[in-house]
Amino acid sequence: MPRSSDARTRFVDTAAGLFRRHGYHGVGLSQIISVSGAPKGSFYHHFPGGKEELAEHTVRHAGAVIAKAIDEAFLEAASFAEGARALADRIADWFEASEWSDGCPITSIVLDTTPTSERILQATQEVFEGWLVRAAGHAERLGAEGDPRTTATRLLVALEGAWIVARVQRSREPFAQAAALVAEA
Amino acid sequence: MPRSSDARTRFVDTAAGLFRRHGYHGVGLSQIISVSGAPKGSFYHHFPGGKEELAEHTVRHAGAVIAKAIDEAFLEAASFAEGARALADRIADWFEASEWSDGCPITSIVLDTTPTSERILQATQEVFEGWLVRAAGHAERLGAEGDPRTTATRLLVALEGAWIVARVQRSREPFAQAAALVAEA
């Protein structure tokens, strides 16, 4: 049996994996607990707010994973366009490896719960804002043309759109187009 | 009681409205039938394949609505960039009027059901392909720079992304950025 400190992580990792494939409402709490392998009795200790609180933490966890990917892509890049391509490539790699199933976990949750859940919406707004501030910082540092905040918003719009179109087309091409859009705008 | 020919339309319209707010799995068939006001007994006559078949027809219906909007935006435009702005504005108008609740009905369905439902995935692929062919035709006719198919893919990527980011930010700004991306690329 996993340690209690592991249980929380297992619940969040399992939820992220299931929500991104089936959406928030497509997965039951009992399924998440069962797949996680963590002790059932510990769930409400970690998440007294139930499935909604778990989803909020899943959004924040996924937000941190993508934030790290943003930094890694841009810190090694010689230009914002090069960083955008590296980020788009990395997400496309993840997505292709999952056979086009592991969409943006945040999108999958937010589309099912907004505006019903104020709690999840607020977490998503904070995560998106964190990404934008981070990407705008890289845009400024790398001397991208135009307003850094606008450049960052365009990157977010293009990558979220690519993640959807790629899921339908089962192809990396939309990510290549997202990177090209950002590079050429 | 509505006529039988109305019942089919009512089921599809109701499903489109509910799926785009709550996702495919967030809405039960009994709720759709009840909200539609159409005779319960007629449901399986129109949709022997149940909720999955209803979702397939909802995807195709929403696809036709957007296809019409694409044509209307580009037929009045003097350039592809102007048409892209008109289309982005129109979707933003619809979305703002719904208080940022009525997301892309196709995205809401497809993210919850892909790759589980081959039937819904295939309908979505056909709808996206129809939009791309249509938008590429306008790009070619209006003399847009670059390969028309690539231009059309970029428009789709940008608009789908804007629809998600706008839902979280509760703002028209992502649509303006999507149009600018396509115009400037």
- Output the six-digit token pair for B118: 């081959």
> Does the structure show a pLDDT above 50 at A1?
no
Question: Measured between alpha carbons, how far is A98 from A100 in angstroms, rounded to an integer?
Answer: 5
Mean pLDDT score of chain B, rounded to an integer? Answer: 95
> Does the structure show a pLDDT above 80 at A33?
yes
> Does the structure show a pLDDT above 90 at A44?
yes
- Across the A:B interface, residue pairs with CB atoms under 8 Å apart total 149
Long-range CB pairs of B176-179, under 8 A, 24+ apart, other chains included: B176/B88, B176/B92, B177/A150, B177/A153, B177/A154, B177/A157, B178/A157, B178/A161, B178/B84, B178/B88, B179/B81, B179/B84, B179/B85, B179/B87, B179/B88, B179/B89
**CB < 8 Å from A in window 24-63 of B:** 24-26
Task: Give the class (CATH, top level) of B4-184.
Answer: mainly alpha
> Does the structure show a pLDDT above 80 at B152?
yes
Residues in B closer than 8 angstroms to A103, CB to CB, are: 111
> Does the structure show a pLDDT above 90 at A115?
no
Percent of chain A with pLDDT over 70: 97
Over range A5-12, report the average pLDDT.
Answer: 92
Residues in B closer than 8 angstroms to A149, CB to CB, are: none
> Does the structure show a pLDDT above 70 at B57?
yes
Residues in A closer than 8 angstroms to B153, CB to CB, are: 165, 173-174, 177
Would you say domain A56-184 falls under CATH 1.10.760.10? no
pLDDT at position B88:
98
> Taking a C-beta distance cutoff of 8 angstroms, is the pair A131, A62 a contact?
no
Query: Using CB atoms, which residue from B157, B173, B182 is nearest to A165?
Result: B157
> Does the structure show a pLDDT above 90 at A63?
yes
pLDDT at position B184:
84
Contact B168 A114 (CB under 8 A): yes
> Does the structure show a pLDDT above 60 at A2?
no
**CB < 8 Å from B in window 86-105 of A:** 99-101, 103
> Does the structure show a pLDDT above 50 at B185?
yes
Least confident of A63-67, A112-116, A166-170: A112-116
Query: Which of B157, B169, B171 is the mutation pick for testing A, counting most A CBs within 10 A?
Result: B157
Over range A94-101, report the average pLDDT.
Answer: 95
> Does the structure show a pLDDT above 80 at B2?
no
Query: Using CB atoms, which residue from B111, B121, B158 is nearest to A161?
Result: B158
- How many other CB atoms are there within 10 angstroms of residue B27's CB atom? 23
Residues in B closer than 8 angstroms to A177, CB to CB, are: 150, 153-154, 157
> Does the structure show a pLDDT above 70 at B34?
yes
Contact A124 B168 (CB under 8 A): yes
Over range A26-39, report the average pLDDT.
Answer: 96
- Output the six-digit token pair for A134: 């981070």
pLDDT at position A133:
98
Question: Measured between alpha carbons, how far is A185 from A139 in angstroms, rounded to an integer?
Answer: 13
pLDDT at position A134:
98
Contact A116 B182 (CB under 8 A): no
> Does the structure show a pLDDT above 90 at A82?
yes
Sign of the torsion formed by the C-alpha atoms of A89, A91, A93 and A96: negative
Sign of the torsion formed by the C-alpha atoms of A113, A116, A119 and A124: positive
Interface pTM (ipTM) of the complex? 0.94
> Distance (Å) from the C-alpha of residue B53 to the closest C-alpha of chain A?
17
Residue A73 phi/psi, 5° resolution? -65, -45
